[in-house]
Amino acid sequence: MEGLLRQPEWRIIDQSTAGRHFHALQSFGTDDTLCASVGTGQAPATARTWVHHNTIVLGIQDSKLPYIKAGRQFLESQGYQSIVRNSGGLAVVLDEGVLNISLILPEKEKGIDINRGYDTMWQLIQDMFAEYHKNIEAREIVGSYCPGSYDLSIDGKKFAGISQRRLKKGVAVQIYLCVSGSGSKRAEVIKQFYEIAKGSEETKFTYPEIVPEVMASLSELLDTPITLSDVMLRLLNQLKNNSETLYSGTLNEHELELLPGYYQRILERNEKLNEM
């Protein structure tokens, strides 16, 4: 696991303070751009941090719910915009208390086993919060939103979920970390969304039955106020420990050329959903 975290150099692209002026669709277009760039050797391993305000990110399966339009209208009435992402998983909540971290890694010759990508992020989060001496488990938390085998939890309550995106020999391992605020209140919004968007219809795909009490934020679980700045500092320290060079950067010229194309692809997918 340390093998993937340890890189000759890490570039950090911090977009955690741009949330109000940075649409979530741009984030997923940016990660695709970074996958293509890092995967083809045009850039070093990159960690990107990002925050979006009052956004529900839906999975592709969510877009097939029988009453998706009514579900999205409900989210809008609660003050949330909704988009459909291009990586795996189901609906998640993004707001000013949720920090997203993307690790973009080159696959090189051997490729990166999918579990190894997940394990790398799990290891990173364990190292970042080691001083609290809490057992951070990676297992599915039934009743959580966007459940998966790499739900991260403390004492049976989920505070983070991990997904992956693979493109052109690049791997983006993405995590959403509920840092502050109420995890159960976020889950209640998703619970109501599914109740409206699914209704009483039978569906081929099994959507989660949300139990809000199984979700919490790190601040709640560690019983101490934790800020995004605190988490950023912990991340930087770990990247520094796992590289010879750590530097803050932005998209390079090659990436700036690629970005419009990848952004357009995810934009078109979402426009099709809006037309349904």
**Exposure string (b/e) for 241-254, b if CB count within 10 Å is 16 or more?**
ebbeebeeeebeee
* Set 24, 45, 94, 146: catalytic member: 146
Maximal CA-CA distance, the chain: 56
State how far the Cα of 118 lies from the Cα of 172, in Å rounded to an integer. 10
State how far the Cα of 52 lies from the Cα of 17, in Å rounded to an integer. 9
State how far the Cα of 87 lies from the Cα of 100, in Å rounded to an integer. 14
Active-site residue, 146 included? yes
**CA nearest neighbour of 34 among 85, 106, 99, 94:** 106
Backbone φ and ψ for 57, nearest 5 degrees, come out as -100, 115
Query: Could you give the residue numbers annotated as active site?
Result: 146
